[in-house]
């Protein structure tokens, strides 16, 4: 190795003594696995190359199939899952999709051909109520352990882990209603997908409970910034003063749409996102949003997958995780109605 | 297939006739490849499952090794590269790193074992001037085509593609100097890495040209939000009114550090980031930053890798791409000095 490693820096970062760092770097065996890992993490954080002695043998590949990386919630899921997989010694293989690129089925085939130990699906075909569900059954018939994240269609029998989307929209409606909003709209993605269906149900629950006389105002669009901007235009035509969105990116699009219509957020229109990820608190205004419990979902999904890889038979049920409403600056009391 | 596909929707999204969509979906051969791909992209964008007839056979795996996904520039690189790889029929395999997880060398081994067609390294060990460079030579000796993105150490002989980091810092200094700032600081990552060295050189160029009497104010820290916040404290002690950062995430940390010190951005302190990615224009204030020419870099890298996979011998040189200074709201004229 050509690099000079400063033992003191690594020891400080790892929170261990320099003697311990030295023992780990020299591959001595009298070090606890957790301590060894702490030193490994410190080396990585400081950007040092790992000595050969710390090279690990992979316990097998774990495929991680996600839709795309432009919505920051997906990199967040991927990063969290990989971090949780690390101590198990499995090598994560991230399969991301781009329009016109490799499809979920093509990835599955490639992973199975390469002897994958298990697969985690994030927002995959499993949540498409109009899709073919046999691929998951076929995978299990071939003995490939799998778990899903973000909503199983009712026809699919695999362990699933998801944010309680119905509760998410319900808390968003409750929040806007408590601020005096009555004309509340919902901008969501394609209705074939389980998360959109659940969000719609939660919105309906909330409207019936809080504002039974108000019509439902729902726009189905794409889960993108542009989708949000176009939904805003249609919801403003219906005089909405509060808009609940299916994703944060969509909410940022809604904010741009509201501004394009000459109105301000949150004075004229309150906007609530969904997902939350590290940059979202820094938007202008800071976005009020429903935070997916990413860490808890990933922990449950990874633990279940690893136990299935270990030969156990996890239950084919879906666990729902309760999200948190994070109130920031994009929601405010409803504007006073000027018309009598 | 259980889904109902609306031909008209797909035709509209793809910008072709419904008859063409129908021909593509039914696997007819009298359709140009570009048109077929347009329909494929439209299906994907609308979230429809692809019919079996459109299933593609992979032309081989391409490994894409990136450092981590928490800095949004890396998902952006990954997404762009995958999009550019798609028409070639290769299957991208994204290998991302987490502290303590699978290392670059372990990924390389796994990819080579699985018969990878080629590898793209983004901000890998190739930019560590203190690291072991033989891994890249060994890979080439084994006949694995590779290209790198984001700065080759001078000892490494592989085709490289990078933003001109020296020019980037130079334009940042010029911008601040033109606004009347004199006490300008630089917050960058570990100095072993080529991009940090180049950014430092550009900062020095700019200071010597614009403000030869001023001392250099440089803080080396981690490329993180927290790293930025701590760098801000140290640069404010040196009375900086302008701070240039090694990444946007670091710049957002600097802004939080400036605010923690009771000062405002940009009135008291101007801050310039580096990278630019889709959420950055939405920060508060919108971040002035130096934009990496991601699309151009990825196009060159992918084209070169594919030609190497095709048997050509690309030159072992590094191409530098000129970035753009994107002036937004985090920079302003220097505050008037209150002391005489």
Task: Show residues of chain B in contact with A50, CB under 8 Å.
Answer: 103, 105
Q: Does A137 touch chain B (CB under 8 A)?
A: no
Q: Does B295 touch chain A (CB under 8 A)?
A: no
Contacts of B153 (CB under 8 A, 6+ apart): B126, B127, B128, B129, B131, B133, B194
Q: Which of A45, A55, A96 sits opposite B82 (nearest CB)?
A: A96
Q: What is the pLDDT of residues A202-220, one digit of tens each?
A: 999 999 999 999 999 999 9
Percent of chain B with pLDDT over 70: 97
Per-residue pLDDT of chain A (340 residues; tens, 9 = 90+): 345 668 888 888 888 998 888 888 887 878 888 888 888 888 887 777 777 777 777 789 999 999 889 999 999 999 999 999 988 989 999 999 888 888 888 899 889 988 899 999 999 888 888 877 788 888 888 899 999 999 998 888 899 999 999 999 999 999 999 999 999 999 999 898 999 999 999 999 999 999 999 999 999 998 899 999 999 999 999 999 999 999 999 999 999 999 999 999 999 999 999 999 999 999 999 999 999 999 999 999 999 999 999 999 999 999 999 999 999 999 999 998 654 3
Task: Show residues of chain A in contact with B6, CB under 8 Å.
Answer: none
Task: Show residues of chain B in contact with A103, CB under 8 Å.
Answer: 44, 50, 55-56
Q: Using CA atoms, how far apart are residues A100 and B42, in angstroms rounded to an integer? A: 8
Report the residue of chain B nearest A5, measured CA to CA.
B130
- At residue A270, φ and ψ (nearest 5 deg) are -95, 140
The answer to whether the bond into B28 is cis (omega within 30° of 0) is no
Sign of CA dihedral A63, A66, A70, A75: negative
- At residue B139, φ and ψ (nearest 5 deg) are -60, -45
| Three-state secondary structure readout of A110-135 | HHHHCCCCEEEEECCHHHECCCCCHH
Quick one: CA torsion of A181, A182, A183, A185, rounded to 10 degrees? 70
Q: What is the pLDDT of residues B243-302, one digit of tens each?
A: 999 999 999 999 999 999 999 999 999 999 999 999 999 999 999 999 999 999 999 999
Q: Which of B75, B92, B128 sits opposite A102 (nearest CB)?
A: B92
Contacts of A311 (CB under 8 A, 6+ apart): none
Cβ-defined contact of B190 to A92 (cutoff 8 Å): no
Q: Which of B75, B101, B128 sits opposite A83 (nearest CB)?
A: B101
Distance from CA of A273 to the nearest CA of B (A): 14
Cβ-defined contact of A284 to B279 (cutoff 8 Å): no
Q: Which two tokens stand for residue B38?
A: 């347009």
Cβ-defined contact of A41 to B86 (cutoff 8 Å): no
Return the SS3 of B257.
helix
Distances (CA, A) of A184 to A232, A240, B178, B183, B284: 12, 5, 48, 50, 27
**B199-235 burial: b if 16+ Cβ within 10 Å, else e:** bbebbbbbbeebbeeeeebbbbbbbbbebbbbbbebb
Task: Show residues of chain A in contact with B278, CB under 8 Å.
Answer: 70, 225
Cβ-defined contact of A252 to B192 (cutoff 8 Å): no
Cβ-defined contact of A279 to B278 (cutoff 8 Å): no
What pTM was estimated for this model as a whole?
Answer: 0.90
Q: Which of A44, A68, A125 sits opposite B79 (nearest CB)?
A: A68
Q: Tell me which residues of chain A, numbers 6 to 35, contact chain B at a CB-CB cutoff of 8 Å.
A: none
- Burial of A266: CB neighbours in 10 Å, binned 0-12, 13-18, 19+: buried
Report the residue of chain A nearest B82, measured CA to CA.
A98
Q: Which two tokens stand for residue B140?
A: 């080439």
pLDDT value for A101: 84
Q: What counts of helices (H) and strands (E) characterise chain A?
A: 11, 12
Q: Tokens 């820290």 map to which residue? A: B221
Residues found in chain B:
340
The H or E element spanning position A20 is helix A18-25
Cβ-defined contact of A283 to B279 (cutoff 8 Å): yes
A295 contacts A279 by C-beta, under 8 angstroms: no
Q: Which two tokens stand for residue B267?
A: 């009135």
Q: Using CA atoms, how far apart are residues A132 and B318, in angstroms rounded to an integer? A: 47
B53 contacts B5 by C-beta, under 8 angstroms: no
Distance from CA of B138 to the nearest CA of A (A): 15
Q: Using CA atoms, how far apart are residues A62 and A93, in angstroms rounded to an integer? A: 6
Task: Show residues of chain B in contact with A49, CB under 8 Å.
Answer: 125, 128, 130-132
Q: Using CA atoms, how far apart are residues A83 and B100, in angstroms rounded to an integer? A: 8
Nearest Cα neighbor of B70 from A91, A69, A224 is: A69
Q: What is the pLDDT of residues B67-119, one digit of tens each?
A: 889 999 999 999 999 999 988 989 999 999 888 888 888 899 889 988 899 99
What is the DSSP annotation of A28-94? -S-S-HHHHHHHHHHHHHTTPPPPGGG------EEEEEES-SSSTHHHHHHHHHHHHHGGGTPEEEE
Q: Using CA atoms, how far apart are residues A300 and A216, in angstroms rounded to an integer? A: 35
Candidates A93, A117, A224, partner chain B, best to mutate (most B CBs within 10 A): A93
Q: Using CA atoms, how far apart are residues B285 and B172, in angstroms rounded to an integer? A: 17
């Amino acid at each position: 190795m050509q690099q000079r490693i400063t033992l003191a820096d690594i020891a400080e970062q790892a929170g261990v003594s320099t003697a311990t760092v030295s023992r780990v770097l020299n591959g001595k065996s009298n070090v606890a696995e957790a301590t060894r890992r702490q030193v490994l993490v410190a080396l990585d954080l400081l950007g040092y190359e790992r000595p050969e002695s710390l090279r690990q043998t992979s316990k097998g590949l774990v495929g991680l199939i996600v839709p795309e990386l432009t919505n920051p919630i997906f990199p967040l899921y991927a990063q969290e899952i990989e971090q949780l997989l690390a101590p198990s010694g499995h090598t994560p293989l991230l399969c991301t999709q781009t329009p016109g690129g490799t499809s979920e089925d093509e990835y599955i085939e490639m992973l199975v051909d390469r002897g994958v130990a298990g697969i985690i699906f994030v927002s995959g075909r499993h949540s498409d109520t109009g899709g073919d569900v046999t691929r998951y059954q076929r995978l299990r018939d071939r003995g490939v352990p799998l778990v899903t994240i973000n909503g199983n269609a009712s026809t699919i029998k695999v362990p699933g882990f998801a944010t309680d989307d119905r509760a998410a929209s319900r808390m968003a409606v409750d929040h806007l209603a408590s601020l005096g909003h009555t004309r509340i709209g919902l901008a969501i993605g394609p209705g074939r997908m389980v998360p959109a269906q659940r969000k719609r149900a939660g919105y309906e629950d909330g409207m019936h409970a809080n504002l039974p006389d108000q019509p439902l105002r729902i726009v189905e669009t794409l889960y993108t910034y542009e989708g949000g901007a176009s939904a805003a235009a249609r919801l403003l035509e219906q005089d909405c003063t509060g808009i609940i969105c299916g994703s944060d990116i969509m909410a940022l699009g809604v904010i741009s749409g509201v501004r394009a219509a000459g109105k301000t957020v949150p004075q004229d229109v309150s906007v609530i996102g969904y997902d939350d990820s590290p940059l979202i608190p820094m938007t202008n205004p800071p976005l009020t949003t429903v935070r997916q419990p990413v860490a808890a979902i990933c922990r449950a999904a990874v633990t279940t997958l690893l136990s299935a890889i270990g030969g156990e038979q996890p239950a084919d049920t879906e666990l729902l995780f309760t999200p948190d409403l994070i109130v920031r600056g994009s929601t405010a009391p409803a504007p006073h109605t000027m018309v009598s």
